[in-house]
Amino acid sequence: MRITARLAVIAVLGLAGAAGFGALGIWQVQRMVWKRDLIARVEARIHAAPVPAPGPSLWPGVAAQDYLRVTATGHFEHERETLVQAVTELGGGFWVLTPLRAADGFTVLVNRGFVPPERRRRDSRAAGLPEGPVTVTGLLRPSEPGGAFLRHNDPAAGRWYSRDVAAIAVHAGLDGAAPYFIDADASANPGGWPVGGLTIVRFRDHHLVYALTWFALALMVVLAAGFVLRWEWRRRPAGAEP
């Protein structure tokens, strides 16, 4: 291969590599902007005054309202509660998801909070099972379908690893259930159980580090290609055809 052709191939490969890494860096910058906008919106939602839990007419777009602070009034259906395995700052145990028959006519699952294994049975926390009207305030959360990592929900065996609203509603025989659930706030329940307010609001934001890494790789490719080009040019035989 002539020296000119060889140098052209090296230059093209270098530019292609640098362009690819540079594009990945730009993509990470865009992701960073999106993520920080999301964090700002969520922070505004969780500290805002609660709004009524969305009714059926608002369900189509409810997935975009994650972490919206909402309130709902109704009656709990404790006999239809579902326990979902959980690991929290209080240790391992279960989330207690109880249907709330809202005064507006629909049903919404409420994650009332955490209970340890010894409080799994309802009769072990009878004081925390209100029978009359209740008002719940918490964060709107979208359904978590499919189960957890390497663990699938098994409704028949009563083993739940994720808060799959649709599956829980079918298993519990709930009609007109909202496609979201409410993570109850830290308001104390009679008897101390379940313990609410354990929602973790945390977003990973390493996009700037990733972007700088890709840009650094792009620069390294440019420098490496320049070094090779210079070396190839210098080592060409005297009088060689270009």
Q: Do residues 191 and 127 lie in contact, with contact meaning Cβ atoms separated by under 8 Å?
A: yes
**For 3-53, what is each residue's pLDDT tens digit?**
677 778 878 888 898 899 899 888 888 888 877 776 777 777 888 899 999
Encoded amino acid at 19, one letter: A
Helix (H, G, I), strand (E, B) or coil at 99: strand
In whole angstroms, give the CA distance from residue 144 to residue 164: 5
**For 181-222, what is each residue's pLDDT tens digit?**
999 999 999 889 999 989 877 767 788 888 889 889 889 988
pTM, entire model: 0.74
Res. 238: pLDDT tops 70: no
Burial degree of 101 (CB within 10 A; 0-12, 13-18, 19+)? middle
Q: How does strand 177-184 pair with strand 51-52?
A: unpaired
Burial degree of 89 (CB within 10 A; 0-12, 13-18, 19+)? exposed
pLDDT value of residue 141: 93
**For 51-75, what is each residue's pLDDT tens digit?**
999 999 999 988 888 899 999 999 9
